[in-house]
């Protein structure tokens, strides 16, 4: 939980040891995902009335989407992430213990940035592969670092996401394609001996979406004060046909 609160609500520059420069182009990842999706929406004249943050964890992207979108739904399978996102929604801030080394911790505070109307967001527990009926469709859908965490990414891509994005709406997928049998049976990984994940992703989305933009999105995930994972997500932006 603390890793996610730090990842979502603290600035990567403040997490690195003093004097260590932030790697180029690394910023707060969940906020950047939301911002880039809103930039694409503006550039393509998509007026976002409803947005969905699928696999929202502790909710930062959902709040950031609410800067421009009147109705945002954050869904995550983890009850404790949703409980924490709701606490942040109600209180605006939440104290937590950031791991330093061993069992040494320091106090930190996660804060929803000022100027966001938190009432525009609703958080709910749910399984992306078995969503409740009647959710309707969304102008913007964000699925950040989710596809390599579900058991059946192909179904998510070819059946579920097309049903969630309205025609003309936008989808942002990000993923480092870190396939692991802990989450996805190897037979369901997008990458195989002959195909990379992006090619498979494109072929699953092709009949419903057009690729409009692609870029690397680097992020830093802090384990403790001297240990970070430095990862490059593949961010692909799609327009629903």
Ligand X SMILES: C[S@@+](CC[C@H](N)C(=O)[O-])C[C@H]1O[C@@H](n2cnc3c(N)ncnc32)[C@H](O)[C@@H]1O
CA distances (Å), 59 to each of 72, 105, 158, in order?
11, 23, 25
Pairing of strands 121-125, 209-224: unpaired
Q: Is 149 in the site for ligand X (CB under 6 A)?
A: yes
DSSP bridge pairs for 96: 108
Q: Which is nearer to ligand X, 210 or 215 (CB)?
A: 215
- Considering only 6, 12, 72, 76, the residue that binds ligand X (CB under 6 A) is 76
Q: Is 77 in the site for ligand X (CB under 6 A)?
A: yes
- Which of 198, 147, 143, 139 shows the shortest CA–CA distance to 170? 139
Q: Is 117 in the site for ligand X (CB under 6 A)?
A: no
Q: Is 220 in the site for ligand X (CB under 6 A)?
A: no
- Considering only 41, 94, 128, 172, the residue that binds ligand X (CB under 6 A) is 128
Q: Which is nearer to ligand X, 178 or 206 (CB)?
A: 178
What are residue 121's phi and psi, to 5 degrees? Answer: -105, 140
Per DSSP, 132 falls in state P
Q: Which is nearer to ligand X, 1 or 206 (CB)?
A: 1
- Which of 54, 58, 111 shows the shortest CA–CA distance to 81? 58
Beta strands in 116-179, from DSSP E residues, in sequence order: 121-125, 138-144, 165-175
Q: Which is nearer to ligand X, 151 or 168 (CB)?
A: 151
157-160-164-168 Cα dihedral, nearest 10 degrees: 40
Q: Which is nearer to ligand X, 150 or 190 (CB)?
A: 150
Residue 198, Cβ density class (10 Å: 0-12 exposed, 13-18 middle, ≥19 buried):
middle
Which range, of 10-18, 106-114, 116-124, 140-148, touches ligand X by CB under 6 A? 140-148
Number of residues that bind ligand X (CB under 6 A): 18
Site string for ligand X, 24-43 (x = CB under 6 A): ------x-------------
- Considering only 2, 129, 191, 211, the residue that binds ligand X (CB under 6 A) is 129
- Considering only 81, 189, 209, 238, the residue that binds ligand X (CB under 6 A) is 81
**Which residues make up the interface to ligand X (CB under 6 A)?**
7, 30, 55-57, 75-78, 81, 127-129, 144-146, 149-150
């Amino acid at each position: 939980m603390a890793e996610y609160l730090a990842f979502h609500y603290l600035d990567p520059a403040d997490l690195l040891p003093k004097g260590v420069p932030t790697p180029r182009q690394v910023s707060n990842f969940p906020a950047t995902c939301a911002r880039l999706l809103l930039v694409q929406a503006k550039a393509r004249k998509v007026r976002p009335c409803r947005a969905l943050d699928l696999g929202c964890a502790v909710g930062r992207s959902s709040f950031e989407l609410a800067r421009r979108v009147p109705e945002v739904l954050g869904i995550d399978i983890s009850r404790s992430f949703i409980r924490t996102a709701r606490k942040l929604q109600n209180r605006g801030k939440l104290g937590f213990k950031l791991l330093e080394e061993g069992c040494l911790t320091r106090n930190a505070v996660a804060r929803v940035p000022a100027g966001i109307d938190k009432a525009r967001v609703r958080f709910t527990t749910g399984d992306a592969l078995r969503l409740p009926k009647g959710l309707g469709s969304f102008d913007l859908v964000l699925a950040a670092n989710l596809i390599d965490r579900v058991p059946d990414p192909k179904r998510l891509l070819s059946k579920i996401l097309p049903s969630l994005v309205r025609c003309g709406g936008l989808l942002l997928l990000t993923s480092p394609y870190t396939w692991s049998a802990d989450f996805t049976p190897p037979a369901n990984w997008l990458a195989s001996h002959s195909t990379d994940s992006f090619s498979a992703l494109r072929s699953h989305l092709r009949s419903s979406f057009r690729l409009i933009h692609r870029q690397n999105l680097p992020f830093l995930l802090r384990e403790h004060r001297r240990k970070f994972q430095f990862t490059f997500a593949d961010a692909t932006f799609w327009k629903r046909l």
